[in-house]
Structure 1
Amino acid sequence: MTTLQTTTVTVRPVRSPAAVMLARRGALYLTEATAEATEGTLAGVTLLEGDLLERGYLLSAPLRHALAGRSEQALAAAGRAVLADVDALLGADRDHTPLFRGFPATTPADTLALWVDRVLTVLLQEPDQPCVLCGEQRSVHPVAPCAHLVCRSCFDGAELSACPVCHRRIDAGDPFLLPAAHRPPAGARRALPQRLRVLAHGGTPADLADHVGAELAGLLARTGALSPSDTDDLHTLLDAAASRTALAWLPDRIPARETKAHVLAWLLRDKAAGPAVLAAVQARLTTATDVLRLLAVHSGGDAGLLTVPRLAPVPRPLRRALLAALDTLDIAQAAAELRRHEDLAKHTGELLHTFEHARAYPRAALLFAALRSFRLTGDRLTRLLREAAAGIPGLDATGTTVRVTPWPVETALADADLPRALALLAARPGELVRRTDHLLRLAGPTDAAQVLDALALAAPRVAPAVLLSALGALRTRTTTHQARVFFPKGPAAKAYLADDTRPALAADVVERATAVLTGEALRRAAELPPVDLAVVDAELHGITAPFAERTASRALVTLPRGSELTLPDGRTLRLFLHWTESDTSGRTDLDLAAAMFDADWNHIGTCDFTHLRFADEAAVHSGDLTSAPAPNGASEFADLDLDLLAAAGVRYVVAVVLSYNNVPFDRLAEAFAGVMVRDEPGTTGPVFDPRQVEQRFDLTSPARASIPMVLDVAGRTMRWLDVVQGVSGTHHAVHRHTDALAALGRHLTGHFASGARVGLGEVALWHAAARARAVAVRHLDGTVSGYRRRAGEDVPAFAARIGTPDTDRAVGAVDLTGAQLAFLLRGDLALPTGAQVYALHPAALDAGAVRLLAATELVAALAPE
């Protein structure tokens, strides 16, 4: 049930349209060249190129040429702007000074001894007395603002960045803080990151306007809920490219309900919006939930209707438009929708003054009368409601209240009445596909054919996300499982575990059901424009097709939840965390931690503020900062040496971010974390090296514990989880949650590895097999397997053959740069202009020459007609 509440909203920085296009398309937009390249501008471009390289970006040749045509002042301004945008993407625009400034070399080996010194100091140290630790006189002074008495002989002000006793940040001008010791320069083996991207010349500001419009159209065409990052970009693009007076840009149908709510609320944000805007809004409100979503977003709330603020007042013209939209709906269906959000719906009825407009909008009045169990008497309103209810199927207003006949499918399922349940579900194909597992268990082997026939009729009418979810769930049902994994809709990405008591389904039934769903996906893909050649990277099979995107973290690399990637070469991973307190959060202590497990998921160690080192140098923590005042905030790091961890018996490492004093992440001014891959010795180079950042993600959920990833030390892989863990109380530390982390890690890795979620590589293969005459599969070792559709070979048979040894050698020798369709882990192919390509890491792909596809677009392309 929706909860009405007052919410604290953390305001996130709004990116400019240029910054959005830099992140989404890797493009810079410049005014026309105004001068010939000079020695000064060429030198400036070289310096800019060096600065970008240190951040993991390169300039394309056309962009370099365009930059050289600027004046020196214009070049400097363009350079500052792009570096600022890149730094914001990487998190390099923040101070990243750890507690121990010489980390990892100077991290104490004995965490307990350090704790004892701190306790003795806080308990026994007196002002104007010798140090209780070393006996030195006149060396004890208070530090600001915590006023702890600190001995400057026992604690090194050049090494520590915070109070040695409480680890709170201290004033930058405090005499305790000495200049940091010299840090050795970066080593020579700083490889380029996997996410390396070549920035392209997008064109002029006029081109920027055109591309912004195209990017906006792409977001509006998505069939699933947008991620928070895409939602942020949607609002930026709307402000930049959309108009409230000329609505030619607005599609007649926006398939994603939550996206539609954001767009319609944006249209209404101008209080002077005219009749054309109201008409456009009313025409696109096709369900009762659409009205609730619109009012929630209009009031500053969540389009998913999980938690919404108290609704804002509605102007009279908008009130009439919303009532007119509700008046056209099927009352039984609308009533069922409103009951899912009963509190919000009742508030909506009051806000719209429904009964005052009962004569003009009688069906809307009936809808809210049924919702509120409005008592019918003999007054004029009762007579009007009864007259309006006459002849409406499923509606009864003859008694003392308006009654809506509920959808009886639950009763049919409870009574094991399969024919009746199938008949009712036939009108709601999405529900039928979602309940296929239940129906097959109800049918048993004898009546399974009825369910499969109904599934075949329903499948062509459902959204692609429903199709993929059912396919993944069904194909793993030939065996029993210890636990079921759920990702329920909510304000944060929580994963729930439950005992799986369902009996396994018959193998032949599962095979036929999955054939129906796979065949439908291939049929839809075959309706898309055909191509001669498609290229698919075999490594994409580790990436999961996107699901539950509405709770995905804003991240540098858009990696769907559950995806597994091979770790880049390099012995050391450096986890990082940065946060800044806000006025509402007060003093906040976030903790970065790593929990180590063996192959059977037995906990064998931690690396956090309670154990700064694990197995000597296998895992090293930078120290626990316990406050993060603005403007600098605070940062923590943890180095993980995979070779040494393996030698210590570690198989899995679960990365965790905990709010020690139980402050939710969304109350902070800023919080983000990520991972760097380091291939030089740990004591060299900067603590935060933007060039080595492979992933950076925001912590913005209302949770207190985040579990971003699991590392498989033996397999040298990283599985992106991006989930939160429910915790209670305060003083959170990772050793108190190891049992929960083990269960979550074990079952989530098992869930994703089992195929219970369709992989993006599978979706790519469906596109390739259905659309291309020939398909080339690239392998990690550089070899290519070629497949050509043979005479008489249908699409399902061709798709089943791709990836097997039954290849067609001639295709493997084809020039892959001629492919019009490509699905790549890394954009390292020079593809023809106009080619459609998905690449996890776009690398040198120019969005102005090829059409870059997001993972969600591959799924959305399979939408039914």
Structure 2
Amino acid sequence: MTVTDAGTARPRALAAVLLFRRGAVYLPGPGTVSDPAGEAGAALLEADLAQRGHLVAPALRAAFAALDARALGALGRALLHDIDQALGADRPHEPLFSGFPETVPADPYRYYVDRVLTVLFQQPAQPCVLCGTEGSVVPVSPCAHLVCGTCFDGADFTACPVCQRRIDPADPFLKPKRPRRLFGRPDAPRRMRLLSLGGDLITRQADAVQELDTLLARTGALPPQDADDLTSLLAARSRADLDTLPAAVPGRETKARLMAWLLEDPDELTRTLPYAAGLVDTATDVLRVLSLRSGGDAGLVSVPRFAAVPRPLRRALLTLLDALDPAQAAQDMRRHRRAWIHAAERLHPFEYADRHPRAALAFAALRGTRLGDDALSAVLRAAAADAEGIDTTGPAVTARSWSRHVEAALTAGDVTGALALLARRPGELVRRLDHLLRLAVGEETAGRAIVTALGGVTGRVAPAVLLSALGAIRVRTREQPVRVFFPKGASAKAHVADDERAALPASLVRDVVGVLSAELSRRADTGRRVDTAVIDAELDGVMAPFTERTASRAFVTLPRGSELAVPEGRILRLFLHWTESAGSGRTDLDLSVAMFDADWQQLGVCDYTSLRHARDAAVHSGDLQDAPPPLGASEFVDLDLERLAAAGVRHAVAVVYSYNNVPFGELAEAFAGVMVRDLPGGAGPVFEPRSVEQRFDLTGGERACVPLVVDLRARTMRWLDVTKGVTGSQHSVWRHSTALAAQGRSLTGLFASGARVSLGELARLRAAARASRVVLRREGAACEVYVRRDGEDVSAFAARIGSPDTDTDMEPDADSDRGAKRRTSGAGLAFLLRGDAELADGCEVFALYPQRLDASRVRLLSASDVVTAFAAR
């Protein structure tokens, strides 16, 4: 992912898309090799890739060696650039104290006092007010603060010691940095990834088509990085070849992006319009296209002022609307009434009423157009004669309101009436399931009616809606202190409110969960059969993706709410980098960590006010207060997990604030992440690419981000990826400590409660439906084997996977490492945390960390692909 000067995302090049999605490298076609790179050239590139946490497959290494040296040089530079950009290693990382963490002041208050005294009393051509040294005080450029070279070491500071803003790199105050210690073994990342030989450029095009088909098959909204990749994949495709595109696209926002691409070229409308017409089934599909082409988003969260619509496209969009049922179109339009009224100014539906009478009728119903004896009224009356649900007998065009009738029935407690209406829209019925169940408490007949109605519609509901309902309902047998909402919006906000709902009867919850689980089990039974499936038990901590529209563009696609173990004996190094844009002015982002005990009572912070916490258990690199290009600014925080735990810290919450309230999206670039370090203290580079475990972008209109929380007792890291609403300026952890505690407690409680379905649960369902033998790998290479028994259905088999009722004793070498490898080798289906298993060629595999999986031999799945496999059929 790259960022424009305006701070908005720019899609990756096709080679980078396939590199990160498939781990594949594509070489130029065969040609004359006058100067082969040989083993030396291949070895140099391989070493550079290893420093970035990437390994080279033997076939790819041989191909490198056979390339012309000049061609390999160009390929290698492009490859390293893409990887560095994804890791954040393409930017300089110079913290305020270049000797971080060793040279960070032990007493930040004294350092602050020295800065204040310097500002107030330091005079030019006078001895230093702090140490009395004569001739050591010089002004630095451009801030002109008088700085003593004796009190402030120019070899350690990378900015003005007084105002902590960047100064001219050629300023004499700045001296060459002292070399950092390089002893100890290098960091060994968990996320090492194998790069495979994808083939030539023709093969690359074929693989791009396959990746495009995968994205178009997604049932939910695409996360921002996948949406960017979709744009790149469409740009590499010709509109002349539409036969291989799918006949239906289940994801509404994905469909809109495809339609916007189809209708973008007016010269191709005669070719693309028939295919686009086959995709449209709601009026909102057209509104999404208008939003996209005007610079808005496909989710209609923020609808922009619509751009002018050329006449050919105007006629095309009205043609699409005219093919819809006018009453249904009018209902869809009412959901975004203001946007549609503005759209009418661009589409001129009444001007084309003779050609597109049904589209004109839908707009008239939306606006309540008055009827008279004019020609337009005659057209509308004629169109309404065949449109059930629209009335033109009165003084104005009116349409029935489905949502109004639903709300009235629910308000009146009319479960039967509400079910009759909601059955027309299965997704809405499942979304309102909790409300319906609360109305049915104490009414056995109503409860049975809900369960019956639910069983009749679940086959038509999107998998994300089913999974959300299953997670939310199965925990309703007990009262919850709070409710957490993730509302649709431009950012990942989490709203917390007191939960005043009474618990639901266990029998009713059991019946509803049974219907939802049975439908998921039925959908799991798709795809080719395999003999063996492998599942990592640690995937129970990885959540099934939800609200992906607001997910951060990240190096590792980790679903929100997921919890992973932190390796023993390591230091977490959080990092932040940003660069100001021309229009943002001075910006000051702050990387901070708030420390809480087991009851979420604050114990301290590590931020610009407290650079060291608990005797160096947490160390901050210093507060840079501006980030002019090209150097920008970087901040780091080292967390020694063992020492923090010994100091009584249970939860460490990472936060990024915009101190002076400049939105992240106004910056030229802003990203943050976490490294897992093996080397102690100041050993090794400040920023080590191969130790980067996660890197994510800071974008949008938010001023605060809460990416993760570390549980020191359990030694786990939970990925939250949420923003935090703030007001005013001069933000700090202390100011927001109470809100951070409430948010951290609520979110960790939500994801630990079972209210969200995990990838481990979905993996067990898929494995139980498709494999006759399932191997469950536990931490430490221990394996448990489960074999499908006679008469055992998918639900029963899936429930047994992970239980003590195993068939491991039937396997030879059950307790040896050799036996564990033998049991997992040759698997045709796998759901892994790390790709370190021997799998069969063509195996379908999800691996959070692909590691040594060769994409040329196996089919890599994303977490979203796992959910898509449960799509309605």
What TM-score comes out, normalization by structure 2 length? 0.96
Q: Determine if contact 1:555/1:697 at 8 Å carries over to the other structure.
A: yes
Deviates more, 1:195-204 or 1:805-814: 805-814
Q: Determine if contact 2:37/2:68 at 8 Å carries over to the other structure.
A: no
Q: How does 1:450-849 map to 2 (within 5 A)?
A: 450-809=449-808, 810=810, 815-849=823-857
After TM superposition, give the deviation of residue 429 of structure 1 in Å.
1.0
Q: Determine if contact 1:576/1:674 at 8 Å carries over to the other structure.
A: yes
**Aligned equivalents of 2:549 and 2:253: distance in 1?**
9
After TM superposition, give the deviation of residue 391 of structure 1 in Å.
5.0
Aligned to 2:592, the other structure's residue is in SS state strand
2:391 alignment counterpart? 396
After TM superposition, give the deviation of residue 71 of structure 1 in Å.
2.4
Deviation digits for residues 510-563 of structure 1 (CA, Å, limit 9, x no counterpart): 112111111111101113322211111111100000011111111111100000
Task: State the AA in 2 paired with 1:405.
Answer: R
- Note if 1:260 corresponds to 2:255: yes
1:4 alignment counterpart? none
**Aligned equivalents of 1:817 and 1:521: distance in 2?**
28
**Aligned equivalents of 1:8 and 1:727: distance in 2?**
25
Aligned to 1:274, the other structure's residue is in SS state helix
Q: Determine if contact 2:36/2:67 at 8 Å carries over to the other structure.
A: no
Aligned to 1:834, the other structure's residue is in SS state strand
**Aligned equivalents of 2:52 and 2:438: distance in 1?**
54
**Aligned equivalents of 1:456 and 1:280: distance in 2?**
34
After TM superposition, give the deviation of residue 36 of structure 1 in Å.
9.0
After TM superposition, give the deviation of residue 188 of structure 1 in Å.
2.6
Task: State the AA in 1 paired with 2:97.
Answer: F
Q: Determine if contact 1:609/1:621 at 8 Å carries over to the other structure.
A: yes
After TM superposition, give the deviation of residue 426 of structure 1 in Å.
1.3
**Aligned equivalents of 1:392 and 1:204: distance in 2?**
55
Task: State the AA in 2 paired with 1:820.
Answer: G
What TM-score comes out, normalization by structure 1 length? 0.97
**Aligned equivalents of 1:331 and 1:828: distance in 2?**
55
**Aligned equivalents of 1:628 and 1:9: distance in 2?**
15
Q: How does 1:34-45 map to 2 (within 5 A)?
A: 41-45=38-42
Q: Determine if contact 2:119/2:162 at 8 Å carries over to the other structure.
A: yes
- Corresponding residue to 1:168 among 165, 170, 193: 165
Task: State the AA in 1 paired with 2:292.
Answer: V
**Aligned equivalents of 2:284 and 2:689: distance in 1?**
44
Q: Determine if contact 1:579/1:633 at 8 Å carries over to the other structure.
A: yes
Q: Determine if contact 1:553/1:722 at 8 Å carries over to the other structure.
A: yes
RMSD: 1.8
Moved beyond 4 Å, runs of 4+? 32-40, 811-814
Q: How does 1:68-147 map to 2 (within 5 A)?
A: 68-147=65-144
Q: Determine if contact 1:768/1:775 at 8 Å carries over to the other structure.
A: yes
Deviation digits for residues 719-774 of structure 1 (CA, Å, limit 9, x no counterpart): 00000000000111111111111000001000000011100000111100111111
Deviation digits for residues 72-126 of structure 1 (CA, Å, limit 9, x no counterpart): 2222222222211111111111000000010000000111111111122222333
**Aligned equivalents of 1:154 and 1:8: distance in 2?**
38
Aligned to 1:735, the other structure's residue is in SS state coil
Q: Percent identity of the aligned residues?
A: 59
2:54 alignment counterpart? 57
1:156 alignment counterpart? 153
Deviates more, 1:150-159 or 1:836-845: 150-159
After TM superposition, give the deviation of residue 861 of structure 1 in Å.
1.0
- Note if 1:352 corresponds to 2:347: yes
Deviates more, 1:716-725 or 1:349-358: 349-358
Task: State the AA in 1 paired with 2:160.
Answer: C
**Aligned equivalents of 1:84 and 1:517: distance in 2?**
47
- Corresponding residue to 1:410 among 407, 410, 420: 407
Q: How many residue pairs align between the two structures? A: 857
- Note if 1:208 corresponds to 2:211: no
Task: State the AA in 1 paired with 2:110.
Answer: A
After TM superposition, give the deviation of residue 13 of structure 1 in Å.
4.3
The 1:829–1:35 alpha-carbon spacing in structure 2 relative to 1, beyond 3 Å, is farther
**Aligned equivalents of 1:337 and 1:14: distance in 2?**
31
After TM superposition, give the deviation of residue 441 of structure 1 in Å.
1.1
**Aligned equivalents of 1:308 and 1:168: distance in 2?**
38
Deviates more, 1:447-456 or 1:706-715: 447-456
Task: State the AA in 1 paired with 2:827.
Answer: A
Task: State the AA in 2 paired with 1:648.
Answer: A
- Corresponding residue to 2:325 among 320, 330, 344: 330
Aligned to 2:584, the other structure's residue is in SS state coil
**Aligned equivalents of 1:270 and 1:123: distance in 2?**
64
The 1:281–1:34 alpha-carbon spacing in structure 2 relative to 1, beyond 3 Å, is closer
**Aligned equivalents of 2:378 and 2:274: distance in 1?**
31
Q: Determine if contact 2:542/2:559 at 8 Å carries over to the other structure.
A: yes
After TM superposition, give the deviation of residue 394 of structure 1 in Å.
2.2
Aligned to 2:350, the other structure's residue is in SS state helix
After TM superposition, give the deviation of residue 388 of structure 1 in Å.
2.5
Task: State the AA in 2 paired with 1:235.
Answer: T
Task: State the AA in 2 paired with 1:220.
Answer: L
After TM superposition, give the deviation of residue 9 of structure 1 in Å.
5.4
Q: Determine if contact 1:590/1:657 at 8 Å carries over to the other structure.
A: yes
**Aligned equivalents of 2:30 and 2:309: distance in 1?**
50
Q: Determine if contact 1:262/1:297 at 8 Å carries over to the other structure.
A: yes
